[in-house]
Amino acid sequence: MSASAAIYGLAGEALTPDEKAFFADADPWGFIVFARNLDRPRQIARLCDSLRDCVGRDAPIFIDQEGGRVQRLKAPTWRAAPPAARFGELFDREPEAALEAVRLNHRLIGKELRDVGVDADCAPVVDLAVPGADAVIGDRAFHADPAAVAALATAALEGLKDQGVAGVIKHIPGHGRADADSHHDLPVVRADAETLFGTDFAAFAGVAGAPMAMTAHVVYAAIDPDHCATVSREVIGTIIRGHMGFDGLLMSDDLSMKALEGGMRRRTEDALSAGCDVVLHCNGEMAEMIEIAHAAPALKGEALRRAEAAEAARGTPAELDVEATTARLDALFDDAGLRRASA
């Protein structure tokens, strides 16, 4: 029997007996870890081993390690990676140098992740930098230009893959111009369809080789005024799968975010029936995970095919000289007259 169509978080730095029993029974496709779960490298590696032991297979383990404000492995134990916007600044001066810098930066991120047992990164952000929008994206975006964002995001995916880490592009089909933070409210994008197809949607459509994508809990009034993307058949079927041609694994953003309505069972059913392949639940609340488990079926059909392809995308890490890679990354910024990446 295949794994269930869910990714779960956990409460602390080690599994409780109840979590072990639940994960063994629910058999989620993957897990996600946050700062509350992470202390030192050896502890994280043990935790990843114990999560995989629960389900008896090499389940993908996810993290949000973008750099900048969103970085679960933090300095000084780990490198403080720059936010995406820094690479956009470099792109405006030296596009080829920026693509190389993004690739190098994500190789370094990927190595740090694989060294502790994490092999899937909820990055890169493919949302656009849009003046006047809610600050939840801000400098997490590479650039305002969709072609630049697509090129930089593709380079980021290549860097992660070099180190055996599968990337997750987010937040499809575009969170950049949203008017609220979906952690707290339901954002609505009121731009017309022509604008969306030429900007936000174009950025995602231009990304090559993404094995996974995470949906946006955002309403696009010109496409489906009644449902956010995560639970919209129109957005997922017509825009993400159709217009963008995305055929990778599609996961929901965190079901516990306040942008969604109803209980966890309803949220799970709505996301999966709209076209998500798996649902994501992050806060580690056992009662909520049990509710999701009652609604998340075993992966099958196209969802299972995409999940297997995403697992295969992790690959084997290449050899990496961290010192030389860091020095080259800094030099690319220095040569362009910008503050170095490690500063």
Q: Which of 183, 184, 192, 335 is catalytic?
A: 183
**Among this protein's residues, is 183 annotated catalytic?**
yes
- Sign of CA pseudo-dihedral 133, 127, 170, 72: negative
| 3-state SS string for 132-201 | CCCCCCHHHCCCCCHHHHHHHHHHHHHHHHHCCCEEEEEEECCCCCCCCCCCCCCCEECCCHHHHHHCHH
Whole-angstrom distance, CA of residue 17 vs CA of residue 180: 38
Whole-angstrom distance, CA of residue 92 vs CA of residue 71: 25
| Residue showing tokens 């490298």 | 41
| Residue showing tokens 């111009």 | 177
Using only C-alpha atoms, the chain has a radius of gyration, in whole angstroms, of: 19
Q: At what angle do helices 286-295 and 264-274 cross, to 10 degrees?
A: 40
For residue 83, whether the previous peptide bond is cis, meaning omega lies within 30 degrees of 0, is no
Backbone φ and ψ for 250, nearest 5 degrees, come out as -110, 120
CB 235 within 8 A of CB 213: no
**Among this protein's residues, is 179 annotated catalytic?**
no
Q: Would you call 329 helix, strand, or coil by DSSP?
A: helix
Strands 65-67 and 249-254 turn out to be unpaired
Selection from 82, 61, 53 nearest residue 70 by Cα: 82
Q: Which of 121, 253, 270, 277 is catalytic?
A: 253
Whole-angstrom distance, CA of residue 125 vs CA of residue 325: 22
- Cβ of 12: how many Cβ atoms within 10 Å? 11
- The set of catalytic residues is 183, 253
